[in-house]
Every structure is written in C-alpha cells, then in structure tokens.
Amino acid sequence: MKKLINEPEAVVDEMLEGMVAAHPDYVRRLEGTNVLVRADAPVEDEVGIVSGGGSGHEPTHAGYLGEGMLDGAAAGEVFTSPTADQLQGMIDACEGGAGVLCVVKNYEGDVMNFETAIELAEMEGDAEIEHVVVDDDVAVEDSLYTSGRRGVCGTILVHKVAGAAAARGDDLAEVKRLAEKTVERVGTMGMALTSCTTPEKGEPTFDLPDDEIELGIGIHGEPGVERTEVMKADSVAEHLTERVLEDLEIEEGREVATIVNGMGATPQMELYVVNRRLQELLDERGLDAVERWVGDYMTSLDMAGCSITVLELDDELRELLAAPADTPALTVRGED
C-alpha cells in the first residue's frame, strides 16, 4: 500500500486537522470530536443543515461546509459511521433557533446513529430536528450495508438544495420538503476501474483483473453488481446513464442537473470524456441539462472510476441549485 498518510489509525484526525488548517475561515472543529462545523455556526434563525458518515469520501461531507450548504459534517473512521454522541454534539452546535435538518446517506449504521442522536438531542433540548434519508443508487435494491438503496453522490445535490433553502430563510418543514423532493427525483449509478484500499487493511477491498471493470459499485469498496470486460468511455456512459434514466422515468423536455463524479483516482480528462457522451445522450432524449457538474464530489478513497447522477428539476429546485454557495469544495457565485 502506498498512501500519503502517517499511521493508518491517525488518518481521520490528521485529515481533519489539515482541513481546518486549510480553511479556517470556513470550518472549525468541535473540540475532542471528529465533527467540523461552519466557522460561524450556529447561524441565528436559519435551519441548520448537517450531515455525516464514514471518512474516505472527501470532499464529502466537510468540503461542503459553508454559506448555502452545510452547517455541520461529522466524520466517522474510514467507511465507518460517526457515533451517535458526536452526531448529537453536531446537531446541538448547529441549532440556531430554527431547527436542524439531518441529511443521512442510507447505510444502516448512519441511519441508526442519526436516529439515536436525534432522540437524544430532542430529549435534552427543545430544538426541532428532522431528517431525510438519501437513497439515490439505482444499482441495487438492498446491499451489504443497507436495506433499500444506498445513498451516494446525489446526496450532494440534497446538501445544495437544503442549504440554499435554509440560507434564504425557509422554515424547517419547507427545507425538509425540498430535500425530500430532491431525494425522490435523483438517481446515481457508479462503476470502477480499480478497487480501493483502506488505510487500515492496506489491501484492495476486492480483486479486479486488468481486463475487467465493475458496474454498480458502491462507495465503501463493495464489489459491483456486474463485472464486464473493459469498455470504452462512451459505452460506460451509455450503460450508467440508461440505468439511471430507466429508473427516473423523466419525460422528454424536462430540465435536469447532472454530475459526472470521480471516485478519487480518476483524472479530470477522463471525467470530461464521460461527460461528453452523457450530454449527447441527454440531448438525444430531449432532456435539457441546465447544471452539469464534473469532478470529485463523493469519492471512495483511491478508487478509479466514476458515477453518473441525474436529478429531475423543476423551477424551485433549479433556483436552489443555482443560488450562491461558498464552501471549500463548491462555490456558486449566483446571479449578481
């Protein structure tokens, strides 16, 4: 295993120190925890938007801390849910008087620990706390770590929509409604050229021969649902896009937002080649992609590969996606 780390057991702590050292204007660390919050949290009279999950998916989630996106991000150990007490501490720190919305990726540990944290926070305080569970991965119905679909890169669009709604002053019920609407309309499918290697294990989490790829992978080193011989980028884009669009059943003429997401070790050159075919496919189907993100949004350590996310828009979702955001990983200037 070759990685730019020190001791494997220190990697999350040291990464978080490195993030705070890079972005002190954006984030601060809750002392004694692996929770980062917005430097100015809690924001008074705004719904706090928080998320969290295992580490190894950077910039998810802490990269999205800042104006117009997240107020809190809890980092578990690599591919391991944050503990309920750390989640509770995050919720408390991000409650500015208008309640808190937790955005939870659908993994059993994350869902369980967030539910416990919310119960504890509600018992000990009088804040209103809601949560939404994101389950955008169309590859599998149940998986190694979930009942129901996995939550993957579509989560970032939920962060963006909920964060923008909170920033313009929507109340908790409205922010939750918009987040849930996003969850209902978003689908993702991923693929891998290589496995990933966790710092602790030091070996690839699955074996993948030089002439094969995995379709339908998750973000925790799970193998995919189908193994095929190496395909050209256009065929990969077609396969992923078709699976997502079959699932979403979007009518011709509708507007969509798309993400071509790198899994951590994929050069931008390759992501743009995939985006080229994705946008052609959407054109052919009469879909109008008004937001087209390309980059590393939700990764799986050092996996090479990509995922494609499509979100069906309407006027209110489009407006929220285009609203200003100012975070280390995503900046939207918005209209002047």
State whether residue 146 is helix, strand or coil: strand
Pairing of β 72-78 and β 129-134: unpaired
Name which position in 116, 205, 228, 279 contacts its own copies (CB under 8 A).
279
Tokens of residue 65, six digits:
């801390």
Query: Applying CB under 8 A, does 6 fall inside the site for its own copies?
Result: yes
Active site residue 239: no
Query: Applying CB under 8 A, does 59 fall inside the site for its own copies?
Result: yes
H-helix or E-strand containing 287?
Answer: none
**Closer CB to its own copies, residue 143 or residue 327?**
327
State whether residue 50 is helix, strand or coil: strand
Query: Applying CB under 8 A, does 18 fall inside the site for its own copies?
Result: yes
* Count of residues engaged in binding its own copies, rule: CB under 8 A: 59
**Closer CB to its own copies, residue 97 or residue 267?**
267
Instruction: For residue 201, list its beta bridge partners.
Output: none
Write the CA distances from 179 to 32, 103, 156, 174, integer angstroms.
Answer: 31, 8, 11, 9
Query: Applying CB under 8 A, does 257 fall inside the site for its own copies?
Result: no
Say which of 57, 61, 159, 239 is annotated catalytic: 57
Alpha helices per DSSP H over the chain: 11-22, 84-93, 108-124, 154-167, 172-185, 233-248, 268-284, 315-322
Active site residue 131: no
Place of tokens 């995922």: 307
Q: What is the DSSP letter of 10?
A: G
Residues 300-319 that bind its own copies (CB under 8 A): 301-302, 304-306
Tokens of residue 135, six digits:
């389950």
Name which position in 195, 299, 307, 309 contacts its own copies (CB under 8 A).
299
Binding mask 216-245 for its own copies (x = CB under 8 A): --------------x-xxx-x---------
Query: Which residues contact its own copies (rule: CB under 8 A)?
Result: 2-6, 11, 14-19, 21-23, 55-56, 58-59, 63, 193-194, 210, 213, 230, 232-234, 236, 260, 264-276, 279-280, 292-294, 296, 299, 301-302, 304-306, 326, 331-333
The residues that are catalytic are 57, 220
